[in-house]
Every structure is written in structure tokens, then in C-alpha cells.
Amino acid sequence: MKDRSPGNQPPSPQHAELGRFLAAQRAHVTPAQVGLPDTGVRRTPGLRREEVALLAGVSVSWYTWIEQGRAENVSGEVLDSIARTLRLDESQRVYVRQLAGVEASCTTRQEITDPDPFRPFDDDWGPDPAGLTATTAATG
């Protein structure tokens, strides 16, 4: 009888791409960016798999399987945690979810980092932006 465990199956094209994408993104994040100490020279750039797993709150073996394209039932919560760890933007987070076959709608709010487009509104508020006007209605 053949062993049908996920570890012995070739990865699907989507899961293989997910693994390649995560590995590429992992190479772009330095330990200092995620608050880890600099431990000197590294053989490869970026974070180690162990560091991503630790920061994302998953086991090293599970993250390794995901990156190797062997994990077929990854939850959206795990993918979002990995996305936060790797500092992915919203479109990259959705892409990761799509590759994994998980519902991929935009659900997170993005922080507004450039307040300049709102400055004309802010400048026109005056000294009392929450002022109320009282009116008296005649009742008869």
C-alpha cells in the first residue's frame, strides 16, 4: 500500500509557488527589522525558517512544510501570522492566501501613513471642530 501522507506527495503548482514566494520574502527581512538580535554572519540573507516560525507562532516543522509546498491545509490565521512576520503588504497577504486556496478577500485595515491628502480638511476645522449649534423650534 502506498503512503499517502502529505510529506510524500509532490507539491501542487500553487503550493510550490507559495513556498518560493515565502522563501523570497523571508530573504528580504532582517532580524533587526523584527526585533531579533544580530547574531553575526549568516549563510543566507534574511530570517531563518526557525525565526519566522517562532515569530509567527507555528512549529518549525509546520513552517518548513509550508515553505516546501507540502502543507495542503494551512489556515488563514497561520498565513496571516506569517504575512505579518514577513511584513507583507495587503496585496501580498491576499496573494499568499490565494496560493494556499484560502478565502482571500481584503479584510485588514491599512494604516494611513501619509496625512497630507487630509490636510485641507484638517486646516478648515477651525479652533472648535466639534462645536454644536442649538436651535429652538416653535411648537404650537
Give SS3 for 126.
coil
pLDDT band per the 50, 70, 90 thresholds, residue 1? very low
Element (DSSP H or E) covering residue 83: helix 76-85
Tell me: pLDDT of 126 over 60. Answer: no
Helix axes 76-85, 60-67, angle to 10 degrees: 90
d(CA 130, CA 68): 55
Per the structure block, which three cell numbers stand in for 40?
553575526
Give per-residue pLDDT as tens, 16-68: 999 999 999 999 999 989 988 877 788 888 999 999 999 999 999 999 999 99
d(CA 25, CA 47): 9
User: How many Cα atoms occupy the beta-carbon half-sphere of 34 within 13 Å?
Assistant: 23
Q: What is the pLDDT of residue 132?
A: 45
Give per-residue pLDDT as tens, 7-17: 567 789 999 99
* The dihedral sign for the CA sequence 125, 129, 131, 132: positive
Tell me: pLDDT of 86 over 90. Answer: yes
Tell me: pLDDT of 108 over 70. Answer: no
